Amino acid sequence: MKATLSSKLAILAVFLSSVTSVSAALSCPENNGDPVRVPGKRYKLICNHAHGAAGTIPKSPCTSIEQCAQYCAEAGPDCLHGQFNFRKNECLLRTNVGDRVPTGYASGHVLLWEADEPIPSPKPIDTGDTAEKPIGGDTGTGTGTGTGTGLDSRGNKLVYTCPADNGELYEAENGRVLKLHCSHGSHIADIDSFASTSLQECAARCGLRTDCKQIDFDGSTCHIKGATAEPKPWSGHVWVSHSCPKKRATAAVKKPLQTTDLTCPQSDGKIFEGSDGTWFYSQCCTDADGATILGFKAATSQKDCAELCVKDKTCKSALFVPESPHPENCKLYGHGAFSTTYAEGAHYVYVTDPPTEAAKLSEAKTCSTECPGADGQIYASVTGENYQMFCKKRHGTNYLKIERRPSFESCIAACAATPACDSADYEPRTKKCFFSNNNNLPTIDAPAFMSAHSLGCAGACASCNKDKGCGAATKEALGADEATCPDNDGELVTAGLEDFRLQCKHCWTSHVTSAGATSSWTVPGVSLADCSLACAKDTRCVGVNFMHADKICSMHPARALDGSEPNFTKSDKCHALSPIDRGFADKTPSS
């Protein structure tokens, strides 16, 4: 029975999508008592009556008797009779009226169900060579992009229906994502439109147009909108641009692609370069966990927010909120790492390792003084001075003198023996050696030349000791980049979209009854970030302790079992984190 009903409703939805009106315009009292037919249903029109009942679903806007009949038919088992109120432009779907009969009502008309009727079979689809192909390529079982599971290569459904697919996401070929809002529309002017009976085609074509912000579908036409607006109830459906990725990553991409366009969600999981060479990893609809807050700035874009982070040398990550009600829509953090905290409408970037590429096979040869083998190599002269050699380069600095030398090696050796000489350019064709006092890298491209410049004497740091900083290589590596005590004592820390005040060597305590009962509770945690995130997710928590010795998080409510507030005391046993917006962050320690 369910399968039959589902199939019937599916055919009904397809048929209704191509219908713009059920018949010639109906009016009252002219059509009082007449049948009103829509695909699958026949109703009797009773003018100026009402059919009051429980279990009513309002639908608006509704501007005609015909539209109300279509609403009722589309609702399937959720509507038995319809009630059209022409003063409120509203259609009331009645799921059950029991033994009630219509009664007089000046502002509306009743659509009284009489019978279900056969639904005409849809027109067969031409699958020949002249048939119009769906956007995105052939989705058949041959060489197309279909997966064989009713999905295309990007995981999109091949057919979308409402209300079954309300809230579904569609990813276009260029990475743009749109979200489906059934029975809603934009209520703003079109910038373009095209005929279609497919929700999928509306989404696919809108996704490929940069000027399409959202697109309405009325069953026969896709209406392209050049601006965004909050969807409102409507008889059709609307796809709206969505800044979140269709599928959220649970770990950073090992070899992320590089991008210069930070539009979300296309930039999600990609890396980009800041103006000073710092590289950032982009996460759309994400916020940081356990990061200290450096401050708030005003930014015009996600790129601008990242540049504000570049300018602050202590900044490791940043959060940009485009639709923030506050002018300071860019939050700078003192720590940064991949995050799994979902935050719709907020976009997060953190400093990451710069990209690499496979090394090119060098033509250099150890101890060679001939090109190309000498390029980049070090030449140790008999005087103890080191020179770096380059092929196809010259300095071009004013010459101290010019000599003819039989080889590049003899040219460098002669420079090393000349106290004022710091560099030498050699031209093999003429065997001329040009001495100069430039100890910088050669900058002039010159395929006919070879060049070298002094790096100083070998063993120049031999007298270094630990007091002079020469023991840096023996120091231990730094730990993980996260908030710690005492380094971040008194600072703000963010977790799960909540900001916390970190106070090292402080503890929250709750009243314990004589029977040993307490209103506090614990969860596992090995870091301040773990404890702050656990508290952020639990709205009962107004303060949490990181018990570093026991590796647990002790959370406390606003009121204990006896109604008392939690106490705040100094203690070496724990570090306290207090949510800024939950009323206890400014509490002073008791003596």
Beta carbons of 288 and 341 less than 8 angstroms apart: yes
At 126 the pLDDT is: 36
Q: Which superfamily does 377-457 belong to?
A: Hepatocyte Growth Factor (3.50.4.10)
3 state DSSP class of 408: helix
At 495 the pLDDT is: 80
First to last CA, the chain: 73
- pLDDT greater than 70 at residue 431: yes
At 546 the pLDDT is: 95
At 400 the pLDDT is: 94
Percentage of the chain lying above the pLDDT 70 cut: 84
pLDDT digits (tens, 9 = 90+) for 26-76: 889 889 999 988 777 888 899 998 876 656 777 777 888 888 888 888 777
- pLDDT greater than 70 at residue 372: yes
Contacts 24+ apart (CB under 8 A), 101-105: 101/51, 102/46, 102/49, 102/50, 102/51, 103/49, 103/50, 103/51, 103/52, 104/48, 104/49, 104/50, 105/48, 105/49, 105/50
Buried b (16+ CB within 10 A) or exposed e, 301-337: ebbebbbbbbeeeebbbbbbbeebeeeebbbbbbbbb
The token pair at 281 is 């990893």
Compute the average pLDDT of residues 481-500.
83
The token pair at 242 is 């969505």
Compute the average pLDDT of residues 78-92.
83
At the topology level, CATH places domain 168-242 in Hepatocyte Growth Factor (3.50.4)
List, in order, residues 6 or more apart from 133 with CB less than 8 Å away: none
pLDDT digits (tens, 9 = 90+) for 545-562: 999 999 999 999 998 888
CATH number for the segment(s) 34-112: 3.50.4.10
At 296 the pLDDT is: 94
CA-wise closest residue to 183 among 200, 204, 161, 163: 163
Compute the average pLDDT of residues 429-437.
94
At 149 the pLDDT is: 53
pLDDT digits (tens, 9 = 90+) for 172-210: 988 899 999 999 998 888 899 999 999 999 999 999 998
- pLDDT greater than 80 at residue 233: yes
Architecture per CATH, 270-351: 3-Layer(bba) Sandwich (3.50)
Percentage of the chain lying above the pLDDT 90 cut: 49
Cite the residue boundaries of each domain of the chain with CATH code 3.50.4.10.
34-112, 168-242, 270-351, 377-457
CA-wise closest residue to 289 among 343, 344, 353: 343
- pLDDT greater than 80 at residue 25: no
At 138 the pLDDT is: 35
- pLDDT greater than 50 at residue 469: no
- pLDDT greater than 50 at residue 298: yes
Compute the average pLDDT of residues 373-396.
90
At 82 the pLDDT is: 86
- pLDDT greater than 60 at residue 312: yes
